[in-house]
Chains A and B, each alone.
Chain A
Amino acid sequence: GAVVSQHPSWVICKSGTSVKIECRSLDFQATTMFWYRQFPKQSLMLMATSNEGSKATYEQGVEKDKFLINHASLTLSTLTVTSAHPEDSSFYICSASLLGSGEKLFFGSGTQLSVL
Chain B
Amino acid sequence: SQQGEEDPQALSIQEGENATMNCSYKTSINNLQWYRQNSGRGLVHLILIRSNEREKHSGRLRVTLDTSKKSSSLLITASRAADTASYFCATVYQAGTALIFGKGTTLSVSS
Contact partner, A44, options B30, B92, B101, B106, Cβ 8 Å: B101
Residues of B near A106 (CB, < 8 A) are 45
What's the least CB distance linking A60 to chain B, in Å?
10
Q: Select the residue from B40, B43, B45, B92 with max chain A CB neighbours within 10 A.
A: B43
Question: How far apart sit A4 and B88, CA to CA, in the bound complex (Å)?
Answer: 19
The interface residues of chain B, by DSSP majority, are classed as: strand
What's the least CB distance linking A100 to chain B, in Å?
8
Near A by CB (< 8 A), chain B positions 23-45 give 30-31, 33, 35, 40-45
Number of interface residues of A (CB under 8 A): 26
- B47: nearest chain-A partner, CB-CB: A104
What's the least CB distance linking A73 to chain B, in Å?
19
Residues of A near B101 (CB, < 8 A) are 36, 43-44
Contact A49 B98, beta carbon cutoff 8 Å: yes
Q: Select the residue from A36, A42, A43, A93 with max chain B CB neighbours within 10 A.
A: A43
Contact B99 A34, beta carbon cutoff 8 Å: yes
What's the least CB distance linking B22 to chain A, in Å?
15
What's the least CB distance linking B103 to chain A, in Å?
5
